[in-house]
Amino acid sequence: MKKLLITGASGMLGGEILRRTNASMNVVGACHRSPREGLLQLDFERPDHVKAAIQESGFTHIIHCAAIRDPDYCLKHPEETDMVNVRASRVIAEAAQAVKAVLCYISTDYVFDGNNPPYSESDAPCPINVYGKSKLAGEQASATVDNHLIVRIPALYRTDLGDSANVLTKFAGLFADGQTLHLDAETVRYYTRTEDVADAVLFLLEQKHRGVIHVSADEQTTKSAFARMAAVHLGYGPDRVVDAPSPSTGDARPHNSRIDTALYRSLSGPHMQSPSEALPAAST
Ligand SMILES: NC(=O)c1ccc[n+]([C@@H]2O[C@H](COP(=O)([O-])OP(=O)(O)OC[C@H]3O[C@@H](n4cnc5c(N)ncnc54)[C@H](OP(=O)(O)O)[C@@H]3O)[C@@H](O)[C@H]2O)c1
């Protein structure tokens, strides 16, 4: 029987993957500062503990979701970002290789500079912010494992508004407070449903394809356009969102880091709903 470790299982994507696994696998979800019943506490500041937890438990598969994923936080906390996103990824890769496990590393479209989209799996990464650089270093560590899969994904949201880390939940709370949101209408985004990405990751683990693969919905929006769509579906007026320029503070963001998904589509993986398809189902 497969034995699967999911790091970051207390997070948005790792939690969704955990919920979608089935009884054909023996699954262990790991967390750090957000302990939950049934989750293994794994602190990346203790590399020996992480290594031992992997090597002594007979994992055949690892999905490495845990990361610091807020680019502005990464800019302000480069040492913590390096520890979590880079050094811990190296430790996990070494341990995965030692036990000959399949390592699936979750990465990001922010490994590209955003100047020449769309980006295919063979395009050379060129990150422009601390977060993107750290995730690329995590990819490079993961690529040392014989049996590795690197899944690059764009900005995520969930249609289930129960999760406070979900961008849609944040928008819903602000609309309910009566606020009008002034949001970036310049930076291009391809918002993708976390639920669909979780299905795609579990599907890809079962496939023969190894190496890098891009997974994304293909509807072009901006933060502003996405929030306006959400406002309308949640019963508020479109005027609750006002177009604004890209923020001038925080770390740089790629202008348009669209990733090409022809390879994923050629494998006939689960459908990635566009926000236009998915948002009508958004619920609290
Ligand atoms: N969300 C997005 O829009 C997006 C877009 C592109 C790529 N990604 C990638 O997708 C993956 C999952 O993202 P997400 O949105 O699910 O992230 P998230 O909700 O912020 O969850 C992050 C997870 O990492 C764990 N973690 C953080 N620091 C840790 C440490 N020191 N030791 C052990 N675990 C630690 C957290 O555990 P605790 O909470 O228990 O501390 C949490 O489970 C990440 O690799 C991210 O780079 C995300």
CA distance 240 to 242: 7
One-letter amino acid for residue 134 of the chain: S
- Report the share of the chain in percent with pLDDT over 70: 99
Pocket test for ligand 1, best of 13, 28, 134 (most atoms within 8 A of CB): 13
Q: Ligand 1 atom closest to Cα of 31?
A: 40
CA 110 to chain CA centroid, Å, is 11
Q: Using an 8 Å Cβ cutoff, are 212 and 150 in contact?
A: yes
CA distance 106 to 10: 15
**Given a cut of 60, is residue 62 above it in pLDDT?**
yes
CA distance 6 to 29: 5
Q: Ligand 1 atom closest to Cα of 84?
A: 31
- Residue 52 Cα to ligand 1 midpoint, Å, equals 21
Q: What is the pLDDT of residues 149-179, one digit of tens each?
A: 999 999 999 998 988 889 999 999 999 999 9
Q: Whose CA is nearest to atom 29 of ligand 1?
A: 32
Spatial strand order in the sheet of 102-108: 40-41, 25-31, 2-7, 61-64, 102-108, 148-153, 211-214
For residues 198-225, b (16+ Cβ closer than 10 Å) or e, as one string?
A: bbbbbebbeeeebebbbbbbebebbbbb
Ligand 1, CB cutoff 6 Å, lining residues: 8, 10-14, 31-34, 42-44, 65-69, 84, 106, 108, 135, 153, 155-156, 165
Q: Quick one: fold of 2-156+193-214?
A: Rossmann fold (3.40.50)
Q: What is the pLDDT of residues 197-247, one digit of tens each?
A: 999 999 999 999 999 999 999 999 999 999 999 999 999 999 999 999 999
Q: Ligand 1 atom closest to Cα of 68?
A: 27
Q: Ligand 1 atom closest to Cα of 14?
A: 16
Q: What is the DSSP letter of 184?
A: E
Q: Whose CA is nearest to atom 47 of ligand 1?
A: 69
What does the domain layout of the chain look like in residue ranges?
Answer: 2-156+193-214, 157-189+219-258+273-281
What's the rounded mean pLDDT across residues 246-264? Answer: 96
One-letter amino acid for residue 198 of the chain: A
Pocket test for ligand 1, best of 33, 105, 201, 215 (most atoms within 8 A of CB): 33
Q: Which CATH number fits domain 157-189+219-258+273-281: 3.90.25.10, 3.40.109.10, 2.40.30.10, 1.10.357.10?
A: 3.90.25.10
Residues 6+ apart with CB under 8 A from 265: none
Task: List, as one string, the DSSP characters of 233-250.
Answer: HTT--GGGEEEEPPPSSS
